[in-house]
Amino acid sequence: MDLFTLTLSEAKAMLDRGECTSVQLTKSVLARIDAVEERVNSFITLRGEDALAQAARADKARQQGRAGALCGLPLAIKDVLCTSTMPTTCGSRILEHFLPPYDATVIEKLQDEGAVLLGKLAMDEFAMGSTSENCAFGTPHNPWRLGYVAGGSSGGSAACVAADECLASLGSDTGGSIRQPASLCGIVGMKPTYGRVSRYGLVAFASSLDQVGPMTKDVRDCALLMNVISGHDRRDATSSPNPVPDFTAALLNGLKGLRVGVPAEYFGAGLDPEVERVVRGALRMLADGGAEIIEVSLPHTEYCVAVYYLIAPAEASSNLARYDGVRYGYRDMQASSLLDMYRRSRSAGFGGEVKKRILIGTYALSAGYYDAYYKKASQVRTLIREDFDRAFASCDLIASPVTPTPAWPIGDKGDDPLALYLSDILTISANLAGIPGMSVPAGFSREGLPIGLQLQAAHFNEEILLRAAWNLEQRAGIRGRRPELS
């Protein structure tokens, strides 16, 4: 058996039993990276020698009885989380050589539990995109079909996990950036409740929407990582003091008594028939497990994309103002004045999509337009959240497609930005409402491309999502199926 194919839970059990060492496990994963990375292109930064040194320290800690929950397990991280030992580029030329002076809280938590960090993963620049084609350092490929998108903005994370180049990863989700690539690459991805996981050290895109979450090979690993990264952080003013349960305890057989709401608005025009076929099949599996399937309504769904593409760019305009070429990041050295340096540095450092969203956001916040755009969008956002509150009064969770289509060829929608924006139409609402959502593999298209089922629950009800996802995973019979990259 190739060690790189293991899940976190399987590898942890082998390490605990002494059947392998972390060094052996890490060497296997690095060999896998060496074999397939040229085709998958998921890494921006890879630190193999440092990973082996971390693995050796993990083996020593295990021998001394100091093994944490992730001791010796190789993970890779989306390049939007600050790491003091590796550059944090956010997929952008403007931060190409930036080495943060501190670690994000979630990175500290991983290290405290003994995880081995392999490197940093490709992403859409500053998390702005749905395909990771906006990455300044190359586009990751979908391991299930090379030449197809891995999704975005956490495309490198999804591709890396699906290709067995790491055992698990962390991504970030602002409008679907964990769930959408997870679905397209056939892995599990969760966006926790806003505030469940600290955002300290997560480079900001849209601060009221961003959330860090796990991307894993199966549901148990998702629960395991949630146990590690969740919890209050005094350094994050938006971090919730809610107690953290043992998420692995939610993985119980049977769904009797669980009410699953299905919103008609998520099954409208534009939904690929293959996606609907797989999702309807997954709903039948949930029903076979004892769940009651009922219809619910989310009437303001049609406004989600418009609301998101006002709120997110507005917050991005504010957050990205700090990249001015003065304190850190790229600086144009040929500028003739301070204002010229600002203009030239930002023009050269930012990519086209980021500049477009900065302009949209600045316009929406400008004098005379704030009330008409940002304020109005914030008011409709409240209506969207109220839709979910009413729906969850009659159901325990909501099930739907994750994305309207399976993966598509790289470059296929490059001339149609609206089509790319609409690829997030089914995931955006969870971020606007602040609720948890996840993607769990549900099946494949007739062309062999993965399709996920999206599950959403009320605030701080991740346990219900994990229970339903785990039961679906047992019934779908596709766990452990992997792309042929050898």
Catalytically annotated residues: 78, 153, 177
**Contact (Cβ atoms closer than 8 angstroms) between residue 258 and residue 397:** yes
Of 409, 472, 438, 457, which Cα lies nearest the Cα of 179?
Answer: 438
DSSP-derived secondary structure letter, 141 = B
- Integer angstrom CA distances of residue 10 from 203, 452, 454: 32, 23, 25
Instruction: Please work out, in degrees rounded to the nearest 5, the angle formed at the alpha carbon of residue 480 by the alpha carbons of 424 and 67.
Output: 95
Structure tokens, 183: 């679905």
Which ranges of 289-416 would DSSP assign to H, the alpha helix? 304-319, 338-349, 352-365, 376-392
**Per residue in 165-180, is it b (16+ CB within 10 Å) or e — as a string?**
bbbbbbbbbbbbbbbb
Element of type H or E holding 191? strand 188-191
Sign of CA dihedral 145, 148, 152, 153: positive
Q: How many distinct helices (H) and strands (E) make up the chain?
A: 15, 11
The DSSP bridge partners found for residue 204 are: none
SS3 189: strand
SS3 443: strand
SS3 293: strand
- Integer angstrom CA distances of residue 137 from 111, 215, 457: 26, 21, 36
Residues in contact with 116: Cβ distance below 8 Å, sequence separation at least 6, in sequence order? 22, 26, 51, 54, 55, 58, 72, 73, 74, 75
